[in-house]
Amino acid sequence: MKKDDPIRKYLLFMLLSAAVIGAVIFFFYVTDKPENTRNTVTIIPRTEDISTEYTKTSKTSTTSRSKTTTRKTTSHTSRTTAVPTTAEFVRLDINSAGADELTKLKGVGEVLAQEIISYRENSGGFRNIEEIMNVKGIGESIFADIRDHIYVIDPIYDEPEEEPVIGDTPDVEQETEHVPTLEELAPININTAERDILTLLPHVDEEIADRIIDFRERAGGFRNEYELLLIDGLSRSDAAEIMEYITIGDDEKAP
């Protein structure tokens, strides 16, 4: 009976071992199925950098043990920012710029640059930027493109001529005939003086002058100054005042 105990123990051990092995095989068989494998993906956004970070965790089962693998992948996205470039703004003094500088102007080549320099040397320099249009080959279109890129130090402009208004005639200084005064002509010969000269005498108008002329023609001339009292329209005081400025002849004068 005692001899059979080791055999029984051995058989019992083998049965238990077989049961354990079978249980393990069954366990791994079940856990190896696709539906029992889980994949977990975690996405973590980050605002500090332009990147995308995510963590992928996979669980796999093997026949020996269960392994958990964690893989962390970070992908960076590079971004290129275009830096705007500023075009060079050309501004030249056309009285000192060289040919290489002038060719930087729109529409101005080497030939035209030499024309500008030749004109500048022959004319003594540009007085203003508009004068560049006198250069052969530069018209209004090219000038419109370059006018903001050229300048002249202390430009000079001609004053515009005033156009005469139609119907407006310039003032012409008229020469006036000199009219002698009574003081310049005195004494006046009342026997020879014309009407306009007689009217220079005090109290003598055109009508009185005509009466004086009529009297001297009828009487053959005045023999003395007192005959003025015979002229109608003259009083004694008027005649006395007139006598200061008259004569009746070259040799006869009132006493």
Listed residue (180, 181, 183, 179) closest to 244, CA to CA: 183
Mean pLDDT computed over 118-138:
93
For the domain made up of 182-247, give the CATH fold.
Answer: DNA polymerase; domain 1 (1.10.150)
pLDDT at 160: 74
Where residue 174 falls among pLDDT bands split at 50, 70, 90? low
Please write the tens of the pLDDT for every residue from 178-203.
777 877 788 889 999 899 998 999 88
Q: Structure pTM? A: 0.33
Greater pLDDT, 124 or 159:
124
- Annotation: CATH topology of 92-151: DNA polymerase; domain 1 (1.10.150)
Quick one: DSSP state of residue 138? -
- Residue reference for tokens 């005509």: 210
What digits encode the pLDDT tens for the residues 69-108?
444 444 444 444 444 444 467 799 999 999 999 999 999 9
Higher pLDDT, 74 or 110: 110
Q: Residue 43 forms beta bridges with which residues?
A: 54
CB crowding 165-194: b at 16 or more within 10 Å, else e: eeeeeeeeeeeeeeeeeeeeeeebebbebe
Instruction: Please give the average per-residue pLDDT across 59-75, as a whole number.
Output: 42
pLDDT at 114 over 60: yes
pLDDT per position as a tens digit, 2-39 = 556 778 788 888 888 888 888 878 777 766 655 544 44
Radius of gyration of the chain (CA): 67
